[in-house]
Amino acid sequence: MLDRIKALGEGAINEIRASESRQDLEKLRVGLLGKKGELTEILKGLKELDGQMRKEVGREANLLKGKLTRIISQKAEELGQKEVGKSLGMDTGFDFSLPGTELPVGALSPITIVQREIEKIFTGMGFSIVDGPEVEDDFHNFEALNIPEHHPARDMQDTYWLENGQLLRTHTSPCQVRAMFKYGAPLKIIAPGRCFRNENVDASHENTFFQLEGMMIDKNISIANLIYVMKLLLSEVFKRAVKIRLRPGYFPFVEPGFELDLNCLICNGAGCSTCKRSGWIELLPCGMVHPNVLEYANIDPEVYTGFAFGLGLTRLAMMKYGIRDIRVLNSGDLRSLKQFATV
Amino acid sequence: MNISLNWIKDFVNLDGIDVKDIWHRFTMSAAEVEDVVEKGRDIQNVVVGKVIDVKPHPDSKKLSICLVDTGKEVVQSLCGAPNVKVGIKVPFALAGGSIKKIEKIGKVKVAGEESNGIICSAMEIGISDSHEGVMILPGEFEAGKSIKEYLNIDDIIIEVDNKSITHRPDLWGHYGIAREMAAIFGRRLKKPEIDELPGTSELPGLDIEIRDSNKCSRYCGIEIRDVKGGTTPLDMQIRLYYCGMRPIEPIVDLTNYIMLETGQPMHAFDRRFIEKLVVDSTKEDIVFNTLDGVERKIPPDTLMIYNNDTPVAVAGIMGGENSEISENTMDLFLESASFNGYSTRKSSMLLGLRTEASARFEKSLDPLLPEISIKRFVKLLKEIKSDINITSRLTDIFPVKPAHIEIKIDKPYIDKYIGHSIEDKKIVDILNSLEFSVTQNGDEFNVKVPGFRATRDISIKADLVEEITRIYGYDNIEPETVDVILKPLDFNNVRLTEHKIRDILAINHNINEIHSYVWYDNDFNKRAGIIHDARLKLINPHAKNMDILRNSMVPSMLQAAEGNARFFDEYSIFEIGSIFNIDKKGGECKENKSLCVLLASRTLNEDSLFYKLKSIVSHMIKVLKKIEIDFSEKKPEYVWMHPAKSINIKWEDNILGYISVVHPQICKNIDRKMKFAVMEIDMRKIHALSENEILYEEPSRYPEVYLDFSFLVNSDIPYDKVNEDIEGFKDEILKSLKFIDIYTGKGLPQNKKSMTFRFTIGSSERTLSSGEIDEFTNKLLDYMDKLGYTLR
DSSP of B639-651: TTEEEEEEEEEEE
Distance from CA of A94 to the nearest CA of B (A): 29
Inter-chain contact A332–B481, Cβ cutoff 8 Å?
Answer: no
pLDDT, averaged across chain A? 90
At A23 the pLDDT is 86
Q: Is the pLDDT of residue B691 over 80?
A: yes
At residue B478's C-alpha, the angle toward residues B476 and B481, to 5°, is 160
Inter-chain contact B589–A162, Cβ cutoff 8 Å?
Answer: yes
Query: How far from the centroid of its chain's Cα atoms is residue B565's Cα?
Result: 33
At A42 the pLDDT is 84
| From A258, A330, A342, residue closest to B506, measured CB to CB | A342
Q: What does residue B423 show for φ and ψ, rounded to 5 degrees? A: -70, 150
At B269 the pLDDT is 97
Per-residue pLDDT, averaged over A97-122, amounts to 93
For B722, the enclosing helix (H) or strand (E) is helix B719-727
Per-residue pLDDT, averaged over B588-602, amounts to 97
Distance from CA of A128 to the nearest CA of B (A): 6
Indicate whether A121 and A242 sit together in one domain: yes
Q: Is the pLDDT of residue B485 over 80?
A: no
Inter-chain contact B419–A225, Cβ cutoff 8 Å?
Answer: yes
What is the b/e burial string over B275-304, where b = at least 16 CB atoms within 10 angstroms of the residue's CB? Answer: eebbbbbbeeeeebebbeeeebebeeebbb
| From A112, A149, A228, residue closest to B502, measured CB to CB | A112
Which residues of A fall within a CB distance of 8 Å from B487? 186, 188
Q: Which of A54, A86, A118 is the last residue of a domain?
A: A86
CA separation for the pair A136, B448 (Å, rounded):
39
As assigned by CATH, the class of the B44-153 domain is mainly beta
Indicate whether A134 and A75 sit together in one domain: no
B461, closest residue in chain A (CA to CA): A291
Q: What is the pLDDT of residues B168-189, one digit of tens each?
A: 999 999 999 999 999 999 999 9
Per-residue pLDDT, averaged over B517-544, amounts to 95
Indicate whether A20 and A168 sit together in one domain: no
Query: Is B2-40+156-185 CATH 3.20.10.10?
Result: no
pLDDT, averaged across chain B? 94
At B528 the pLDDT is 96
Indicate whether A10 and A139 sit together in one domain: no
Domain that holds residue A77: 2-86
Indicate whether A263 and A137 sit together in one domain: yes
What is the complex's ipTM, to 2 decimals?
0.85
At A343 the pLDDT is 52
| From B469, B511, B578, residue closest to A256, measured CB to CB | B469
| From A112, A194, A229, residue closest to B513, measured CB to CB | A112
Query: The CATH number of B208-397 is which of 3.30.420.10, 3.30.428.10, 3.50.40.10, 1.20.1110.10?
Result: 3.50.40.10
Query: Is B406-476 CATH 1.10.1840.10?
Result: no
Inter-chain contact A163–B537, Cβ cutoff 8 Å?
Answer: yes
Per-residue pLDDT, averaged over B513-520, amounts to 97
Domains B2-40+156-185 and B406-476 share a fold: yes
| From B346, B481, B489, residue closest to A150, measured CB to CB | B346
Distance from CA of A18 to the nearest CA of B (A): 43
Reduced to 3 DSSP states, what percent helix, strand and coil does chain A have, rounded to the nearest 5? 45, 20, 35
Query: Is B493-688 CATH 3.30.930.10?
Result: yes
At A81 the pLDDT is 86
Segment 360-389 of chain B within 8 Å of chain A by CB: 362-363
Indicate whether A144 and A61 sit together in one domain: no
What is the b/e burial string over A168-207, where b = at least 16 CB atoms within 10 angstroms of the residue's CB? Answer: bbbbbbbbbbbbbeebebbbbbbbbbbbbbbeeeeeeebb
Which residues of B fall within a CB distance of 8 Å from A248? 28-31, 164, 466, 470
Q: Which residues lie closer than 8 Å to B552 by C-beta, 6 or more apart? A: B532, B534, B579, B594, B596, B638, B680
Domain ranges of chain B: 2-40+156-185, 44-153, 208-397, 406-476, 493-688, 705-791
Indicate whether A61 and A127 sit together in one domain: no
B584, closest residue in chain A (CA to CA): A164
CA separation for the pair B180, B655 (Å, rounded):
65
Which residues of A fall within a CB distance of 8 Å from B29? 247-248
Which of B589, B591, B597, B598 would you mutate first to test chain A, the one with the most A CBs within 10 A?
Answer: B589
Distance from CA of A298 to the nearest CA of B (A): 18
Query: How far from the centroid of its chain's Cα atoms is residue A231's Cα?
Result: 26
Indicate whether A191 and A46 sit together in one domain: no
Q: What is the pLDDT of residues A193-250, one digit of tens each?
A: 999 999 899 998 999 999 999 999 999 999 999 999 999 999 998 888 999 999 999 9
Q: Which of these ranges, A47-61, A134-148, B545-559, has the smallest mean pLDDT?
A: A47-61
How does strand B570-581 pair with strand B512-513? Answer: parallel
Which residues of A fall within a CB distance of 8 Å from B164? 248-250, 259
Quick one: which of A285, A290, A287 has its CA closest to A310?
A285
Indicate whether A270 and A134 sit together in one domain: yes
- Could you tell me if residue A34 is inside a domain? yes
- Could you tell me if residue A100 is inside a domain? no
Please state, in angstroms and as integers, the Cα–Cα distance from residue A242 to each residue in B210, B252, B322, following that order. 58, 52, 61
| From B166, B342, B492, residue closest to A250, measured CB to CB | B166
Which residues of B fall within a CB distance of 8 Å from A151? 342, 345
Q: Is the pLDDT of residue B600 over 90?
A: yes
Indicate whether A154 and A270 sit together in one domain: yes
Q: What is the pLDDT of residues B7-31, one digit of tens each?
A: 999 999 999 999 889 989 999 999 9
Per-residue pLDDT, averaged over B297-306, amounts to 97
Secondary structure of B346-363 in the HEC alphabet? HHHHHHCCCCHHHHHHCC
Which of A103, A123, A162 would you mutate first to test chain B, the one with the most B CBs within 10 A?
Answer: A162
**β-strand partners of B738:** B758
- Could you tell me if residue A251 is inside a domain? yes
At A47 the pLDDT is 83
Quick one: which of A190, A334, A86 has its CA closest to B598?
A334
Quick one: which of B257, B361, B243, B367 has its CA closest to B313?
B361
Which residues of B fall within a CB distance of 8 Å from A229? 482
| From A116, A183, A224, residue closest to B489, measured CB to CB | A183
Q: What is the pLDDT of residues A254-278, one digit of tens each?
A: 999 999 999 988 888 888 887 888 8
Compute how many other C-beta atoms are within 10 angstroms of the C-beta atom of residue B485. 8
Distance from CA of A259 to the nearest CA of B (A): 9
| From B349, B419, B518, residue closest to A224, measured CB to CB | B419
How does strand A187-196 pair with strand A128-129? Answer: parallel
At B145 the pLDDT is 96
| From A134, A223, A249, residue closest to B417, measured CB to CB | A223
- Could you tell me if residue A94 is inside a domain? no
Segment 10-39 of chain B within 8 Å of chain A by CB: 27-32
Q: Is the pLDDT of residue B575 over 70?
A: yes
The structure's pTM equals: 0.84
Segment 180-239 of chain B within 8 Å of chain A by CB: none
Distance from CA of B260 to the nearest CA of A (A): 19
Inter-chain contact A194–B513, Cβ cutoff 8 Å?
Answer: no
Q: Judge whether B593 is closer than 8 Å to chain A, CB to CB.
A: no
Domain count, chain A: 2
Using only the alpha carbons of chain B, give its radius of gyration. 42
- Could you tell me if residue A98 is inside a domain? no
Query: The CATH number of B705-791 is which of 3.40.1710.10, 3.40.190.10, 3.20.20.70, 3.30.70.380?
Result: 3.30.70.380
Indicate whether A255 and A289 sit together in one domain: yes
Q: What is the pLDDT of residues A310-342, one digit of tens each?
A: 999 999 999 889 898 999 999 999 999 999 986
Say which CATH number the domain at A165 has: 3.30.930.10
At A64 the pLDDT is 86
Indicate whether A6 and A123 sit together in one domain: no
Q: What is the pLDDT of residues B177-228, one digit of tens each?
A: 999 999 999 999 999 999 999 999 999 999 999 999 999 999 999 999 999 9
Which residues of A fall within a CB distance of 8 Å from B482? 216, 218, 221, 225, 228-229
Distance from CA of A34 to the nearest CA of B (A): 29
CA separation for the pair B46, B510 (Å, rounded):
70
